[in-house]
């Protein structure tokens, strides 16, 4: 009912009615009533948006990269080393180790991506690994997710490791796509059947003859007859018994 019209017809109002009219007028003039106080609500909404935007911008810290170690490790201008979470790229030459297939291609691909600008780091549960490297998901300014891009290109494989598994499903899907399209590591894959034992708790697979495989609890055991099948389900090879994770011979 219109307040002014009600007042004309009832010049003598009860105390209770006056209170109702007073409360109605308050709600119509309140900043919480969008219909009757549009400028006030708009101003409040705008101010709130600016505050949230400022907080979001402050949380977006961008880093310049000094150099790229390999396909999954970089060094920031501050000197801090960063290890990409959830993936493992083939190794390049070290003091006592020869380069693995696609090791230098993975590094070059990583370099090409990072040349396009600064990076943003996103963390998971653990902030550092045992070597003091920062563990991170790495993003470019255009939103490119570097961890996933290396997998999509077939230049790394998934490395599941609790508790840092926030994006594991996304990373596994990227690897599965690369395997289906036979990219990079998966391009010339060929292997005879063998027997591998996977641990469903750690998502690692071992040669069936590996002593570690014999200690896996029955409820966690899963058997694979090809490394390909283990990789496609998100398992990574154990370093304790599988020196060569690839299944082909190919020069760089």
Q: What is the pLDDT of residues 105-160, one digit of tens each?
A: 999 999 999 987 899 999 999 999 999 999 999 999 999 999 999 999 999 999 99
Cis peptide before 153 (omega within 30 of 0): no
The verdict on whether 91 is a catalytic residue reads yes
Looking at residue 46, what is its pLDDT? Answer: 47
The verdict on whether 105 is a catalytic residue reads no
Same domain, 171 and 202: no
Same domain, 125 and 146: yes
Q: Domain for residue 44, yes or no?
A: no
Q: What is the largest CA-CA distance in the chain?
A: 100
44 pLDDT band, cuts 50/70/90, is low
Same domain, 69 and 173: yes
Same domain, 198 and 176: no
The verdict on whether 83 is a catalytic residue reads yes
Q: Domain for residue 152, yes or no?
A: yes
In this structure, of 6-10, 98-102, 224-228, the range with the lowest mean pLDDT score is 6-10
Give the count of domains, the chain: 2
Looking at residue 229, what is its pLDDT? Answer: 97
How does the average pLDDT of the chain come out, rounded?
82
Catalytic residue among 4, 15, 81, 91: 91
Residue 173, pLDDT > 50, answer yes
**CA distance linking residue 119 with residue 138, whole number of Å:** 7
Same domain, 111 and 125: yes
Same domain, 96 and 199: no
**Domain end point (choices 163, 185, 207):** 185
Q: Domain for residue 85, yes or no?
A: yes
Looking at residue 95, what is its pLDDT? Answer: 78
Q: Domain for residue 7, yes or no?
A: no
Q: Domain for residue 47, yes or no?
A: no
Task: Give the domain CATH number at 173.
Answer: 2.40.50.90
Same domain, 133 and 180: yes
Same domain, 179 and 195: no
DSSP letter at 70 equals: S
Same domain, 115 and 180: yes
- Global pTM? 0.75
244 pLDDT band, cuts 50/70/90, is confident
CA distances from 95 to 92, 129, 216 (A): 10, 22, 33
**Domain end point (choices 185, 218, 247):** 185
3-state secondary structure of 107: helix
| Structure-model confidence comparison of residues 44 and 245, the more confident one | 245
Looking at residue 96, what is its pLDDT? Answer: 78
The strand ranges marked E within 24-118 are 62-63, 65-68, 73-76, 81-84, 87-88
Q: What is the mean pLDDT of residues 173-199?
A: 96
Domain range for 103 is 62-185
Residue 40, pLDDT > 70, answer no
Closest CA to 145 of 158, 132, 136, 154: 136
Q: Domain for residue 38, yes or no?
A: no
**Domain end point (choices 160, 185, 210):** 185
Catalytic residue among 81, 120, 133, 183: 133
Q: Domain for residue 26, yes or no?
A: no
Q: What is the mean pLDDT of residues 225-241?
A: 96
Same domain, 151 and 168: yes
Same domain, 158 and 107: yes
Q: Domain for residue 251, yes or no?
A: no
Asked whether the beta carbons of 144 and 110 are under 8 A apart, the reply is no
Catalytic residue among 83, 105, 107, 204: 83
Same domain, 97 and 203: no
Q: What is the pLDDT of residues 71-106, one digit of tens each?
A: 999 999 999 999 999 999 999 998 778 899 999 999
């Amino acid at each position: 009912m219109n307040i002014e019209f009600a007042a004309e017809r009832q010049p003598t109002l009860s105390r209770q009615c006056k209170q109702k009219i007073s409360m109605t007028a308050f709600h119509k003039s309140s900043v919480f009533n969008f219909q009757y106080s549009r400028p006030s609500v708009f101003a409040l909404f705008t101010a709130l948006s600016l505050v949230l935007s400022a907080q979001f911008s402050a949380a977006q810290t961008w880093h310049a990269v000094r150099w790229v170690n390999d396909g999954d490790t970089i060094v920031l201008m501050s000197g801090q080393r960063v290890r990409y979470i959830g993936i493992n790229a083939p190794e390049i030459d070290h003091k006592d180790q020869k380069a693995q297939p696609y090791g230098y291609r993975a590094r070059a691909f990583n370099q090409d991506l990072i040349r396009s600008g600064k990076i943003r780091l996103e963390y998971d549960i653990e902030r550092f690994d045992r070597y003091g490297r920062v563990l991170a998901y790495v993003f470019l300014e255009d939103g490119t997710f570097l961890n996933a891009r290396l997998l999509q290109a077939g230049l790394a494989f998934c490395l599941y490791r609790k508790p840092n598994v926030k994006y594991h499903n996304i990373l596994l899907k990227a690897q599965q796509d690369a395997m289906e399209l036979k990219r990079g590591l998966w391009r010339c894959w060929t292997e005879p059947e063998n027997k591998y034992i996977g641990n469903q708790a750690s998502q690692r697979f071992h040669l069936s003859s590996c002593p570690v495989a014999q200690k896996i609890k029955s409820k966690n055991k899963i058997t694979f007859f090809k490394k390909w099948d283990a990789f496609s389900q998100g398992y990574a090879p154990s370093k304790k018994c599988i020196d060569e994770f690839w299944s082909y011979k190919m020069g760089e």
